[in-house]
Amino acid sequence: MLLSTLLQVTPDIGIIGKAIAISVTVLAAGLGISKIGSSAMDGIARQPEAGGDIRISMIIVAALIEGVALFALVIAGFIL
């Protein structure tokens, strides 16, 4: 009886672990992109003539963060 209950709980722990890994990844990516956006807007406000260069750099870095987040989600999906 106890063994069958334990075997039923074990897959649930794996699903909870996968959900936690995915949620941490998504939250970290969201915080990173929001920090980039905030810093870029501060930089453009201080030096408006450099707005184009700052915007391009912001887009490149945001794309890199999204790539790392996507990679982390795939790894979390396959490993867990």
Contact at 8 Å (CB) between 65 and 3? no
Whether this prediction's pTM lies above 0.85 is answered by: no
Distance (Å, whole) CA 46 – CA 61: 20
2 vs 5, 11, 16, 60, CA distance in Å?
A: 5, 15, 21, 54
Question: Which residues are CB-contacts of 58 (< 8 A; sequence separation ≥ 6)?
Answer: 36, 37, 40
Kindly list the averaged pLDDT for each block of 10 residues, start to end, along the chain of length 80: 59 79 92 95 94 94 94 83
Distance (Å, whole) CA 68 – CA 62: 10
Domains in the chain, ordered, with CATH? 21-79 (1.20.20.10)
Q: 17 is written with which tokens? A: 């672990």
